[in-house]
A and B are shown apart, each in its own frame.
Chain A
Amino acid sequence: MNPRNSELIYIIFAGLIIFIGMSLVLYATGQSWQADTMLLVGLLAMIFIMANFGIRLLCPNGNKIIFPIAALLCGLGAIAIYRLDSTTASLQLLWIAIGIVAMIFIMLIFPDYTKMRHFKYLTGILGIMLLFLPVFFGVTRGGSKLWLDFGFFKFQPSELAKVLLVIFFAAYLDEKKEVLALKQKIGRLTLPPLKHLGPMIVMWFFSMLVLILEKDLGSALLFFSLFIVMLYLATGKISYILSGLSLFIFGAAFCYFAPKIYPFFASHLGHVRVRIDIWLNPWLDPKGGGYQILQSLFAIANGGIAGVGFGKGHPSFIPAVKTDFIFSSIAEELGLFGAMSLLLSYLLFIYQGLKISLQTNDGFGKLIAAGLSFIFGLQTMLIVGGVTKLVPLTGVTLPFVSYGGSSIVANFIIVGLLLKISARTSQVGVTS
């Protein structure tokens, strides 16, 4: 079957799940289908179907699974948000629409994504600028300085920066991978040539800056590991992973111990220490610092195996439930089964992304697809691990599900790029 027709069928399935979910929420909260809820679900379905037609025109041979997964996740997220606050849900709907427009736009201006290679320094500089924009113009929320305030909405530029940086790294590494793969022995240690270690040190330094200036543990971690992993993928040198890991451990230890020893860092790195301490023992201050994570655990525990039912939980107990903690709310209402299905959807998305990377024969596209899948997957693991107290909490969004415009738009751009890369592969496959 035409991949776009399969895609449409999957989208209809996703729409069905969203429709049933919404009905459940309405039933549980003692409401019935009204004009506004019908409009919400109807518009959502319409946007997705229109996107399908857009993809038909611009990228007919693209992967048929990733977009429906994105649609399903968006829809579930929108219901979970609607059930908390219907105004925010309509805003989220707007962002989904904007995200899809951005996705189509990317496919439109880059019929051949390999052309992006020519703009690599531009994307690199733009990425770094976006990353540091909040330092100069940002507003502080929840202890981190990540948002730009445009009055009627707030924007988190680091979400877009991650896509731009993947493109930049991919172009840079694809060009330099041979040089970077050279060996150099110092005593018994095999190290990459010192001058090529430079970029790694620079990235590490940038990540530390993000951490200190914006107090954003999540982004710092994402960017640094993104760079290391892409470096490893391009060169195959495990020594990059090892030296990156040692830099990371050094940085982490520094962040944890420096505020205690040097008062100067207390105000800039204190938040890292606080987060780690809360992670280690939230019970020390269950009504204060540990409140949020404990409420998250209580919610998840309340879900049990089958969940309390969509619409029947108590998400309002968890602070920041619409953004960082939306997974806890879903785990409460849909239970272990629901949460596992959600995680499987993410895994399927990541797997499709990596499969696209595996199938393409263009080194640049390979690195972009792998890099995007990696950062998407790592971000999911960080936030789900964070709200379940597996790892310290790093305020990143749950892709497609959390409320947040910049995150939705950035993730749809990821879908657009993956679609483009997969389409090129199948074209090459057909012609050769």
Chain B
Amino acid sequence: MQARIRSLVIIFLIGFLIITLNLTYIQIFQADSLLNNPNNTRFLTEELAIERGIMQTADKVVIAKSRIAENGYRRYYPQEEICAPVTGYYDIRFGRSGLEQSYNSYLLGKAKFSTFQEYLDDIAGRGHKGNDLYLTLNYKLQKAAYRAIEGKKGAVVAINPKTGGVLAIASWPSYNPNNISKNWNTLIKDKGSPLLNRALSGRYPPGSSFKIVSASAALDLGLASLKKYYPAPNELPVYGGKVTNYESKSYGQVNLEKAFTKSINTVFGQVGLDVGAIKLVDYASRFGFNREIPFDLDMRQSQTKQATAMDKLEVAWTAVGQAATLATPFQMALVGATIANSGNLMKPYLVQKIRNYKGLRVMDAKPQILEKVMKKKTAKEVKAMMTKVVDQGTGQAANLGYNKVAGKTGTAEVYGMRPHAWFVGFAPADNPTIAIAVLVENVGTGGANAAPIAKQILSVALSQ
């Protein structure tokens, strides 16, 4: 029995060793990610004593601020539902999201100190004010976007194509961040998922709006030109399957420009096969698919199927915008912005500058090119086609006057339900100041359902 009891000693030694190793892992290696997890509200009691910084839009509207309450400060969002996709919420039990989460340490004034005195105040535990965030967001546009999408499940994203500064992020249904703790249970049970930021985390098949990517690839590689003719039958047989047109229309022989304007699937199936899986996925990735895009808010990655895993039929359908491709509205706004900015994708950002409560500089954002997606000439050609779409093609409902708006509609088919409606575009076409993506879930065609929403918002933008 002695040997067996000794083996019990060994077993306990090993058991305690494993426990200690796991404890070491949690307390040293995993500690950072656990402490910064949005579900971790244990520091909020201390945080409540700090007056968090405000968030202010570019047109000087305060969208989040702290107000004094019983036990310290309470967060207040004057615009309620409208800016929730940007501000997020901040609650003692339910944690934080949006900018409240991603800029938490700045808002608390703990990330960087602009003076030594502030640093001393912080380590001495003396109360201090947090830093203020000044955003690129334009409240007028944000409100217009929210009102335009209100009542229709979907999202709108507007970006300044020249800088990458985000002008509006609207998502509906939304929630009132002032009442998050009171309404938490209804919010998480709500079938419309109001807490989901559809603009950044909703992923949808892009439908024909993806043809901007396919056309860019083909033109940039010199495999196509605007005047190149293709047969445009109602269906294109490919490798054990077929690509079909919306409502099975047949168009005879058309050039690329017309195929783009009328959004003809069978032509883009051929364009996709010409470009090939590898190059098609490569261009999509240049636009931001299949990778993490650095941004001030959390977002889900948009994706195509891996090039090596696609058969020819999938390549053809991918070029059309169906197959396994999924895109966030934010990603599609970046696609529009890239064309608008002569083929250069700017790094998107939302926080223009951060100042401490005395107005001293903490951080300034500078526009940066994230990716040179295509040649300038290519972008110009795609822009010309997109202008035609709005002037005479599927996107006429977004028309604000001749040669004003450029865009591409998308009608993303969803099995067993009505299609998602997309509009991706920018304005003014000759010198774009705003790029936009509109998505409405399960309503019908992009031309009839998304383009009018884009028009509403673009008209507000252009009248400023």
Which stretch, B37-45, B67-75, B76-84, B146-154, touches the partner chain A? B37-45
Contact A236/B19 with A287-B94, A298-B40 known, Cβ cut-off 8 Å: no
Q: How far apart are B1's CB and chain A's nearest CB, in angstroms?
A: 6
A-contacting residues, B1-25, CB 8 Å? 1-2, 4-6, 8-9, 12-13, 15-16, 18-20, 22-24
Complex CA–CA separation, A234 to B8 (angstroms): 13
In the complex, the answer to whether A346 meets B16 with C-beta atoms within 8 Å is yes
Partner of A388, one of B1, B6, B19, B28: B19
Indicate whether A303 sits within 8 Å of B27 (C-beta atoms), given known contacts A340-B20, A347-B12, A381-B16. yes
Residues of chain A lying within 8 A (CB to CB) of residue B19:
343, 381, 384-385, 388, 390
Q: Please determine whether B5 and A304 come into contact, CB atoms closer than 8 angstroms.
A: no
A286 to B9, CA, bound (A): 38
Q: How far is the CB of A109 from chain B (nearest CB, A)?
A: 27
Contact with B along A224-241 (1 / 0, CB 8 A): 000001001110100000
Chain A, 361-414, CB within 8 A of any chain B CB: 363, 366, 370, 373-374, 377, 381, 384-385, 388, 390
Are A366 and B26 touching (Cβ within 8 A)?
Answer: no
Q: Give the complex CA separation of A287 and B93 in angstroms.
A: 8
Q: Does B34 contact A (CB under 8 A)?
A: yes
Residues of chain A within 8 A of B2, CB atoms compared: 358
Are B39's CB and A286's CB within 8 A?
yes
Is the Cβ of A304 less than 8 Å from the Cβ of B31?
yes
Residue B184 lies at the interface, judged by CB distance under 8 Å to chain A: yes
CB within 8 A of B39: which of A287, A370, A385? A287
Tell me which of B8, B40, B45 contacts A374 (CB under 8 A).
B8
A162 and B8 alpha carbons, distance in the complex (Å): 19
Query: Are A381 and B15 touching (Cβ within 8 A)?
Result: yes
A381–B13 Cα distance when bound, in Å, is 11
Measured in the bound complex, the distance between the Cα atoms of B212 and A345 in whole Å is: 67
Q: Is the CB of B35 closer than 8 A to any CB of chain A?
A: yes
A339 to B20, alpha carbons, bound, how many Å? Answer: 9
List chain A residues, Cβ under 8 A from B27. 300-301, 303-305, 331, 335-336, 339
C-alpha spacing A287/B39, complex, angstroms: 8
Q: Is the CB of A232 within 8 A of B40?
A: no
B30 within 8 A of A: yes
Bound: A80/B27 CA distance, A:
20
Question: Are the C-beta atoms of B13 and A347 separated by less than 8 Å?
Answer: yes
B3, closest chain A residue (CB): A236
Contacts of A314 in B (CB 8 A): 42, 45
Distance (whole angstroms) from the CB of A111 to the closest CB of chain B: 25
A295 touching B5 by the CB < 8 A rule? no
Distance of B11 from chain A, by nearest CB (Å): 9
| Cβ-defined contact, B8 with A388, below 8 A | no
Partner of A366, one of B1, B6, B37: B1
Q: Distance (Å) between the CB of B459 and the closest chain A CB?
A: 42
The binding surface of chain B is classed by DSSP as helix
Once the chains bind, are A297 and B34 in contact (CB under 8 Å)? yes
B-side contacts of A373, CB under 8 Å: 8
Tell me the bound Cα distance from A304 to B27 in angstroms.
Answer: 5
Stretch at the interface among A36-44, A126-134, A259-267, A349-357: A349-357
- B1:A302 contact, CB within 8 angstroms: no
By beta carbon, the residue of chain A nearest B39 is A286
Q: Is the CB of A298 within 8 A of B1?
A: no
A254 within 8 A of B: no
User: Could you mark each residue 139-176 of chain A with 1 if its beta carbon is under 8 Å from any beta carbon of chain B, else 0?
Assistant: 00000000000000000000000000000000000000
Is A299 positioned at the interface, with any CB of B under 8 Å from its CB?
yes
Find chain B residues with CB under 8 A from A381 CB.
Answer: 12, 15-16, 19
State how many angstroms separate the Cβ of A241 from the closest Cβ of chain B: 10
Q: Tell me if A55 is interfacial: C-beta within 8 Å of chain B.
A: no
- A233 to B2 alpha-carbon distance, docked (Å): 9
Min CB distance B189 to A, Å, is 12
Interface flag for A78 (CB, 8 Å): no
Question: Residue-by-residue, is B246-277 near A (CB-CB < 8 Å gives 1, otherwise 0)?
Answer: 00000000000000000000000000000000
Is A354 in contact with B16, judged by CB distance below 8 angstroms? Answer: no
* Min CB gap A388→B, angstroms: 6
A417 within 8 A of B: no
Shortest A412–chain B CB gap in Å is: 21
Q: Which residues of A contact B184 (CB under 8 A)?
A: 287
Cβ A236 vs Cβ B34 within 8 A = no
* Residues of chain B contacted by A180 (CB below 8 angstroms): none
Cβ–Cβ contact B15 & A295, under 8 A:
no
Q: Closest approach, in angstroms, between the C-beta of B246 and any C-beta of chain A? A: 39
Task: Tell me which of A301, A340, A374 contacts B30 (CB under 8 A).
Answer: A301
In the complex, how many angstroms separate the beta carbon of A229 from the nearest chain B beta carbon? 7
* Residue from the list B16, B31, B45 in contact with A343, Cβ < 8 A: B16
Q: Which of B4, B6, B8 has the most CB of A within 10 A?
A: B8
Residues of A within 8 A of B41 (CB): 317
Assess whether A388 is in contact with B26, with CB atoms less than 8 Å apart: yes
- Supposing A300-B27, A304-B27 touch, asked if A350 and B12 sit within 8 A by C-beta, the answer is yes
- Contact residues in B for A321 (Cβ distance below 8 Å): none
Chain B residues, CB < 8 A from A283: 39
Residue of A nearest to B15 (CB): A381
A-B contacts, 17 listed (Cβ < 8 Å): A229-B8, A236-B1, A287-B93, A294-B39, A297-B26, A298-B35, A298-B39, A301-B34, A305-B27, A305-B28, A314-B42, A331-B27, A343-B20, A347-B13, A347-B16, A370-B8, A377-B15
Interface residues of B, Cβ cutoff 8 Å to A: 1-2, 4-6, 8-9, 12-13, 15-16, 18-20, 22-24, 26-28, 30-31, 34-35, 37, 39-42, 45, 93-94, 184
Given A229-B8, A236-B4, A305-B27, 17 more A-B residue pairs with CB atoms under 8 Å apart are A283-B39, A286-B39, A294-B40, A295-B42, A297-B30, A299-B42, A302-B35, A304-B28, A347-B12, A347-B13, A351-B12, A358-B2, A370-B5, A373-B8, A374-B8, A377-B15, A381-B15
Pairs of residues from A and B, 9 with the lowest C-beta to C-beta distance, nearest first = A301-B34, A286-B39, A301-B31, A336-B27, A298-B40, A314-B42, A390-B22, A317-B42, A377-B12
